[in-house]
Amino acid sequence: MTKKIFILVFLAGCFTTFAQSKIDGNWKGTAESPNGVFELSYTFKAEGTKLTGALITEFGDTQIENGKIEGKKFSYTLSFNGDMVINVTGELISDDEISTTTDMGETKLSRVKS
């Protein structure tokens, strides 16, 4: 009986490790605006096909809304002060690079290694 419990616990741990999405983690990039270039950081977390996280800039944090993942592609929205909503689409290019696109252009993000 003890052997069966050990095997079940071991298998559960393996599945949990493999279930982690490659998009999970911290990412950094830069974006251009009429006021110049500014740094932005993202924290992404995949929960099945749902994407959560936040955009972190020098101006404050904004939660990701309506996040969806389909394979290596994903989408989400960012709302600012209830006045402006930005639709974002993206793709995981490699384990360390993401490309995102909005109406304002494209941004490349790099994984932050811990």
Q: Is residue 31 part of a domain?
A: yes
Average pLDDT over residues 21-31: 92
Phi, psi torsion values for 105, nearest 5 degrees: 135, -165
pLDDT band at 18 (very low <50, low <70, confident <90, very high): very low
The DSSP symbol for 18 reads H
Question: What is the pLDDT, as a whole number, of residue 36?
Answer: 87
> What's the chain's Rg over C-alpha atoms?
17
d(C-alpha 18, C-alpha 28), whole Å:
24
Residue 48 has pLDDT above 90, yes or no: yes
Q: Which pLDDT value is given to residue 98?
A: 96
**pTM of the predicted protein model:** 0.77
68-102 tens-digit pLDDT: 999 999 999 999 887 899 999 999 999 999 999 99
Whether residue 88 is contained in a domain is answered as yes
List the CATH number of the domain containing 83.
2.40.128.120
CA angle 101, 103, 93 (to 5 degrees): 5
Structural domain that includes position 73 = 22-111
